[in-house]
């Protein structure tokens, strides 16, 4: 006689769990385990579990069952679990986006298991830009990976009458996008000690980080029990990240002053008007030092020598390589090879890699690069949506939404990296933008109200004008540099 029941020995992946069944059996790694107290539920054991496919689920042991499971549940162990109950998962903070979590029965069996891969697909890492533009659901924790480039002082903050250590660190990703991370309690101490002993390029992995907005700026922080902070951990994913970092020689620095992380509390308005150096396009292309700056430019064209998008693996978010004759005309989705997952994949996502050629009154040009987060915010549509809209005709066609950027004026905050100093053809990565008319007017007015003084630059030859971005073989008219000088009248000087 046939039966619809599952075999007692069959395993279910987390993504395939049916919430209406209580006979699901899963094999998972206990990624994180901590004890908590909730006013309505009393003491609990909280866990974040991950399966072989990299999917996560939250699990909880109630107060009445803690004594039974306390000695058999250990962080880092691989176990099989069944049976268990699935209950609604809600609240202000969640370790994943599922609508349900596991509740242990008293009868739940926990059995050790050795058959588990050393590394699983990374599904929960997010781009820094997705945090900085406020597009993340702040209720759901995220994973981040970054190089620690700045470490602030440890501060003792009073929380409910108890002194708690607090440490701000600055992370950067492979595109040199910077993100502030606030660490509390033991994490603050551990990171401070490690970075002081290892002043080279420290890679930090933070699992289950909380996305927070404070005074108009987006940062991340640890969420006490759920978060796990790893410094220079081994693994293919970390090695691949490290190999892709900018080759600009940036190493970790310690700044024991309160101004280091002022950017974490700076509004967009202050980013463009107060906190960052104002630069012309000529200043940017002739820069001799790395750094951040803001500029007001007009988009002259969209670069067409490369695609405005790239294809990424849906599992790990990294770029993939197409196979020949990869049209999908046979009804099956096209296949790609993912080097990070080391397998063929058909589940892919299209992401922005948009290059704009911009200029200003100096008649110099530069190429500004917007990655996926900035592109999605600017165009208010995902790259996948734009690709789908034109792909049936010709994917090489530039979507009208992108073409409409030509002629528009923007404020951009860009990073000048080591690659920019080595090659004038390198792109400047956009960290922030604004097309707000009032802010653009205020920026322009702030330039007009400043006193002009000479800008020291390296003399430019006729040939160098072309190499450095000039629009013609002859040098454009020397621009002027503006700066405020107390008690002096406004004067203008040529920069040559």
Each domain of the chain, given as residue ranges in start order, spans 14-112, 128-264, 268-303+355-379+394-467
Q: What is the mean pLDDT of residues 81-87?
A: 94
Fold (CATH) for 268-303+355-379+394-467: OB fold (Dihydrolipoamide Acetyltransferase, E2P) (2.40.50)
Q: What is the mean pLDDT of residues 37-62?
A: 93
Q: What is the dihedral of CA 253, 257, 259, 262, to 10 degrees?
A: 70
CATH class (in words) of the domain with range 128-264 = mainly beta
Q: What is the mean pLDDT of residues 71-77?
A: 95
Q: What is the mean pLDDT of residues 439-457?
A: 67
pLDDT at 334: 86
Contact 132, 94 (CB under 8 A): no
Of 46-60, 134-148, 157-171, the least confident: 157-171
- Spell 207-226 as b/e; 16+ CB within 10 A means b: bbbbbbeeeebbbbbbbeeb
Measured CA to CA, the distance from residue 231 to residue 188 in angstroms comes to 12
pLDDT at 315: 72
Measured CA to CA, the distance from residue 368 to residue 411 in angstroms comes to 12
Contact 476, 364 (CB under 8 A): yes
Which DSSP category does 432 fall into? E
pLDDT at 186: 92
Fold (CATH) for 14-112: OB fold (Dihydrolipoamide Acetyltransferase, E2P) (2.40.50)
Q: What is the mean pLDDT of residues 9-18?
A: 89
Band of residue 7 on the pLDDT scale cut at 50, 70, 90:
low
Helix (H) or strand (E) holding 82: strand 78-88
Band of residue 447 on the pLDDT scale cut at 50, 70, 90:
confident
Question: In the 3-class helix/strand/coil scheme, how is 313-380 assigned residue by residue?
Answer: ECCCCCECEECCCCCCCCCCCCCEEECCCCEEECCEEEEEEEEEEEECCCCEEEEEEEEHHHHHHHHC
> Could you report the per-residue pLDDT of 453-484, keeping only the tens digit for each?
333 443 333 333 333 333 333 334 444 444 33
Instruction: Look at residues 35, 125, 110 and name the one whose alpha carbon lies nearest to residue 77.
Output: 110
Measured CA to CA, the distance from residue 100 to residue 278 in angstroms comes to 49
Residue 461 is encoded by which pair of tokens?
A: 């030859």
- Hey, do 14-112 and 268-303+355-379+394-467 end up sharing a CATH topology, with the first three levels equal? yes
Measured CA to CA, the distance from residue 386 to residue 367 in angstroms comes to 22
More confident residue, 20 or 79: 79
Measured CA to CA, the distance from residue 25 to residue 18 in angstroms comes to 11
- Spell 32-63 as b/e; 16+ CB within 10 A means b: bbeeeeeeeeeebbbbbbbbbebbbbbbbbbe
Instruction: List C-alpha distances in Å: 135 to 129, 157, 306.
Output: 9, 29, 27
Q: What is the mean pLDDT of residues 167-174?
A: 91
In this structure, are strands 336-338 and 321-322 parallel, antiparallel, or unpaired?
antiparallel
More confident residue, 376 or 83: 83
């Amino acid at each position: 006689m046939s039966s619809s029941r599952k075999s007692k020995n069959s395993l279910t992946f987390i993504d395939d769990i049916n919430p209406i069944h209580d006979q699901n059996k899963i094999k998972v790694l206990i990624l994180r385990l901590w004890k908590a107290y909730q006013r309505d539920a009393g003491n609990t054991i909280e866990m974040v579990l991950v399966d072989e496919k990299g999917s996560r689920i939250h699990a909880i042991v109630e107060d009445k069952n803690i004594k039974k499971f306390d000695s058999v549940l250990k962080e880092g162990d691989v176990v099989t679990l069944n049976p268990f109950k699935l209950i609604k998962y809600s609240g202000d903070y969640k370790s994943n986006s599922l609508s349900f979590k596991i509740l242990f029965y008293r009868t739940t069996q926990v059995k050790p298991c050795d058959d588990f891969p050393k590394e699983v697909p990374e599904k929960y890492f997010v781009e820094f830009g997705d945090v900085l533009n406020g597009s993340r659901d702040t209720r759901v924790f995220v994973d981040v990976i970054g190089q620690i480039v700045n470490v602030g002082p440890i501060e003792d903050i009073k929380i409910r009458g108890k002194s708690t250590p607090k440490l701000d660190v600055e992370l950067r990703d492979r595109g040199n996008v910077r993100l502030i991370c606030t660490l509390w309690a033991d994490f603050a101490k551990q990171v401070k000690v490690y970075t002081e002993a290892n002043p080279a390029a420290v890679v930090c992995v933070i699992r289950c980080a909380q996305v927070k907005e404070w005074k108009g700026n987006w940062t991340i922080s640890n969420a006490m029990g759920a978060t796990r902070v790893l410094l220079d951990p081994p693994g293919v994913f970390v090695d691949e990240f490290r190999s892709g970092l900018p080759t600009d020689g940036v190493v970790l620095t310690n700044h024991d002053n309160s101004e280091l992380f002022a950017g974490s509390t700076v509004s967009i308005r202050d980013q463009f008007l107060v906190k960052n150096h104002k630069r012309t396009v000529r200043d940017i292309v002739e820069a001799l030092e790395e750094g951040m700056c803001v500029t007001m430019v007009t988009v002259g064209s969209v670069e067409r020598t490369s695609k405005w998008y790239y294809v990424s693996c849906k599992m790990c978010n990294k770029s993939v390589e197409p196979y020949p004759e990869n049209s999908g005309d046979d009804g099956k989705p096209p296949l790609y090879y993912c080097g990070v997952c080391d397998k063929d994949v058909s589940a892919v996502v299209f992401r922005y890699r948009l290059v704009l050629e911009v200029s200003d009154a100096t008649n110099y040009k530069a190429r500004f690069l917007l990655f996926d987060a900035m592109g999605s915010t600017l165009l208010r549509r995902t790259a996948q949506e734009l690709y789908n809209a034109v792909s049936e005709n010709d994917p090489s066609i530039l979507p009208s939404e992108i073409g409409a950027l030509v002629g528009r004026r923007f404020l951009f905050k860009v990073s000048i990296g080591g690659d920019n100093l080595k090659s004038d053809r390198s792109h400047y990565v956009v960290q922030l933008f604004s097309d707000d008319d009032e802010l653009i007017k205020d920026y322009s007015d702030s330039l007009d109200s400043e006193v002009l003084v000479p800008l020291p630059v390296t003399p430019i030859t006729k040939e160098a004008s072309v190499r450095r971005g000039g629009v013609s073989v002859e040098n454009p008219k020397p621009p002027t540099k503006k700066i405020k000088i107390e008690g002096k009248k406004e004067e203008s000087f040529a920069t040559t």
